[in-house]
Amino acid sequence: MRKILGLFYTNLFLTGRLFTGLGVCVVLFVLSFFFPWLGVVPELAFWALVLFILTDVLMLYRTAKAVFAKRHAPERLSNSDDNELGIYIESHYPFTISAGIIDEIPFQFQRRDIWFKTILKTGEHKLISYLLRPTKRGEYEFGDIRVFIRSPIGLVSRRFNFEQAETLPVYPSFLQMRKYELMAISNRLNEIGIKKIRRLGHSLEFEQVKTYVPGEDLRTINWKATARQGNLMTNFYTDEKSQQVYCVIDKSRAMKMPFDGLSLLDYAINASLVLSNIALLKEDKAGLITVAEKIGTVIPAERRHSQMNKILDVLYKEKTRYLETNMEALYTTIRGVIKQRSLVVFFTNYESMNALERQLPDLKRIAKFHLLLVVFFENTELKQLSEQPANDVEEIYIKTIAEKFAYDKRLIVKELAKHGIQSILSTPKYLTINTINRYLELKAKQRI
């Protein structure tokens, strides 16, 4: 019985026009008692409405497969980016129809507005596009596509169900990674805030001895080669390559804090993904370490074509833990895995000086062997509170506390610099840009 009722409500339901027609018939029927001269008008109106309904049903249900619909979706979605999806629909009715389309999107989006209306002529097909922006990594389950069809009469609506259930993985922001990659290849990184940094001094990586060209630096003349050849010969240097860049991502509870729908861990993952890709484009080696109360994933730095896919697959699965970061285990892992001086970019977060003081001894030990760059986040909400004017005692108290936390953040930067540790205090929005800028700056200064 439930199945029969389900089919009834699924495939045939009364529209607003039908309710209007029934209402008119009822009104005419009631009026016939008070105005006998109306005669058989209510009865004729009723049977006319029934005739229209039967005609509408016959037009809609005369063909079994009168409509076809399919979802067009990518193989994977990019976290925190607008991903384009589409619904392809085509009509096989011999008349023009109006269609209402519902796409059952995953519950994580919490949206109920994926409802599209369109008009299709005979044999016409359309592709309806829309955007989805996920804010969490993981698997997203899509449901079926529901299509509601009405004929030109418009009294009855027929429902079509298309089984389009599929599960799409949401990866870290690979769309953002590709955008930065294209900008780097075309030398247009300055358009998105990446600074052009002048390389200081000479690179130490020798490439070849070549004939001197007027205008070149006289200090690069190779006098021994000049004596042998009888012409001025110079040493040609190139940018140092194959330097190791490790992104260390803190997965502890300090990275659970959300900003604009994303956790700090997701911001760190997106930034490390872009930084690793830029490092590979600069012909350096990219590696990854994740840590919480214990060491998570360790990917040794390499420069293979498959390195980015390996990093992407690992970051896709990472989740926030709820314990403190084990800095001793991190130091032991770095000493055991990284055998040469490298750039270690540590993505974490500190809200107070006490949090830094607990980790500072191990940070100093890491900085003895590697160039350590600590990246942590500026609390934008507290910054807004500290900049707002205070009107009463309570607001003065709140503003004072907010300014105190903001001051601690700046104090952390000075404390790290005192011990020779590089640092970046960045808002989540500009984390990727600020990190790439610092990497290019350190590379230009030949710090690694």
Query: 229 and 364: one domain?
Result: no
Q: What is the pLDDT of residues 272-282, one digit of tens each?
A: 999 999 999 88
Query: 260 and 350: one domain?
Result: yes
Q: Do the domain assignments include residue 200? A: no
Q: Do the domain assignments include residue 278? A: yes
Q: Do the domain assignments include residue 160? A: yes
| Interval 198-206 mean pLDDT | 51
Query: 106 and 139: one domain?
Result: yes
Q: What is the DSSP string of 271-284?
A: HHHHHHHHHHHTT-
Query: 125 and 221: one domain?
Result: no
The closest of 439, 220, 199 to 342, measured between CA atoms, is 439
Please state, in angstroms and rounded to a whole number, the distance separating the CA atoms of residues 338 and 343: 10
Please state, in angstroms and rounded to a whole number, the distance separating the CA atoms of residues 406 and 396: 15
Query: 234 and 254: one domain?
Result: no
Q: Do the domain assignments include residue 21? A: yes
CATH number at residue 144: 2.60.40.10
Phi, psi (degrees; rounded to nearest 5) at 132: -130, 135
Query: 156 and 248: one domain?
Result: no
Query: 128 and 218: one domain?
Result: no
Q: What is the pLDDT of residue 22?
A: 53
Query: 230 and 90: one domain?
Result: no
| pLDDT band of 330, cuts 50, 70, 90 | very high
User: Structural domain tally of the chain?
Assistant: 3
Element at 159 (helix H, strand E): strand 156-162
Q: Do the domain assignments include residue 212? A: yes
Q: What is the pLDDT of residue 236?
A: 65
Is residue 88 predicted with pLDDT exceeding 70?
yes
| Interval 399-426 mean pLDDT | 90
Query: 83 and 160: one domain?
Result: yes
Query: 139 and 219: one domain?
Result: no
Q: What is the pLDDT of residue 237?
A: 61
Please state, in angstroms and rounded to a whole number, the distance separating the CA atoms of residues 49 and 333: 80
Q: What is the pLDDT of residue 15?
A: 47
Q: What is the DSSP string of 323-357?
A: S---HHHHHHHHHHH--S--EEEEE---SSHHHHH
Q: Do the domain assignments include residue 88? A: yes
What percent of the chain shows pLDDT beyond 90?
47
Q: CA dist 322 to 137, 256, 257, Å?
A: 18, 8, 12
Q: What is the pLDDT of residues 57-80, one digit of tens each?
A: 888 888 888 999 999 999 999 999
Query: 218 and 94: one domain?
Result: no
Query: 295 and 308: one domain?
Result: yes
Is residue 177 predicted with pLDDT exceeding 60?
yes
Q: What is the pLDDT of residues 340-384, one digit of tens each?
A: 999 999 999 998 899 999 999 999 999 999 999 999 998 887 777
Q: Do the domain assignments include residue 261? A: yes
Q: Which of 72-81, 147-156, 191-200, 427-436 has the lowest mean pLDDT?
A: 191-200
| pLDDT band of 207, cuts 50, 70, 90 | low
Domain containing 224: what range?
205-238
Q: Do the domain assignments include residue 344? A: yes
Q: What is the pLDDT of residue 370?
A: 94
